[in-house]
Amino acid sequence: ADKGGNIEEQDRAGNAEDITNQSTKGASKQRRSLINLEIEHLKELLPLSETTRNHIFQLQVMALVCTYIRKHHYSDCSTWRWHSTLLSHRWAGTFEKALREFLLVFDRQGKILYISGNVNEFLGHSVEELLCHGDSIYDLIDPKDHSSVQSVLWSGLPSTSITKPSVDDTTIICRL
């Protein structure tokens, strides 16, 4: 009888473990479902065409959301108001048509703030495809060029120089 009790206790312990595993699996599935719903909601909030919205996947959505928030964080600062006007959707199309190149704006840490929509004409990749690779200029350029770009970005310019237009332009040529 003693051995039977042990078997019954083992069965009950096994059943309790099965129930716990099922409960954990159910909770995990529910969390994933909620995350997927939130990402879909974020996708709908992004200023994208319906065609683009239908073709991007979750990683691209998250990269675009991060870039969009970062851009608006910088454009909300009083020192970046001129960037906000320049990069607004109203002016972006006109600005892009006037350029014979694409525009890529990033901060001193290399975090991407803006990529003009005409980038596809030059690189053969959409903004969404580029941001899927990362949210930093270092994710897009050849690793051989990282130190050159970093030295220019970290050249010791005081942060207040960003607020004043500089006479000296800096050109960085690198491989994408």
Q: How would DSSP label each residue in the chain?
A: -HHHHHHHHHHHHHHHHHHHHHHHHHHHHHHHHHHHHHHHHHHHHSS--HHHHHH--HHHHHHHHHHHHHHHHHHHSGGGHHHHHHTSHHHHHHHHHH-SS--EEE-TT-BEEEE-TTHHHHHS--HHHHHHT-SBHHHHS-GGGHHHHHHHHTS---GGGGGS--SS--------
At 120-140, the pLDDT tens digits run 888 898 888 888 777 889 998
**What confidence tier does 100 reach under pLDDT thresholds 50, 70, 90?**
confident
Under a CB-based contact definition with an 8 Å cutoff, are residues 59 and 132 in contact? yes
* Residue 160: predicted pLDDT: 44
Under a CB-based contact definition with an 8 Å cutoff, are residues 140 and 130 in contact? yes
| Residue 164 pLDDT > 80 | no
* Residue 88: predicted pLDDT: 56
At 23-46, the pLDDT tens digits run 788 888 999 999 999 999 999 988
Under a CB-based contact definition with an 8 Å cutoff, are residues 91 and 117 in contact? no
User: Which of the two residues, 51 and 19, has the higher pLDDT score?
Assistant: 51
**What confidence tier does 165 reach under pLDDT thresholds 50, 70, 90?**
very low
Under a CB-based contact definition with an 8 Å cutoff, are residues 126 and 48 in contact? no
- Average pLDDT in the 41-63 region? 87
Under a CB-based contact definition with an 8 Å cutoff, are residues 85 and 76 in contact? no
Q: What one-letter code names the amino acid at 153?
A: L
What are the backbone angles phi and psi of residue 64, rounded to the nearest 5°?
Answer: -65, -40
| Residue 162 pLDDT > 50 | no
- Average pLDDT in the 51-61 region? 87
Percent of the chain topping pLDDT 90: 14
* Residue 133: predicted pLDDT: 76
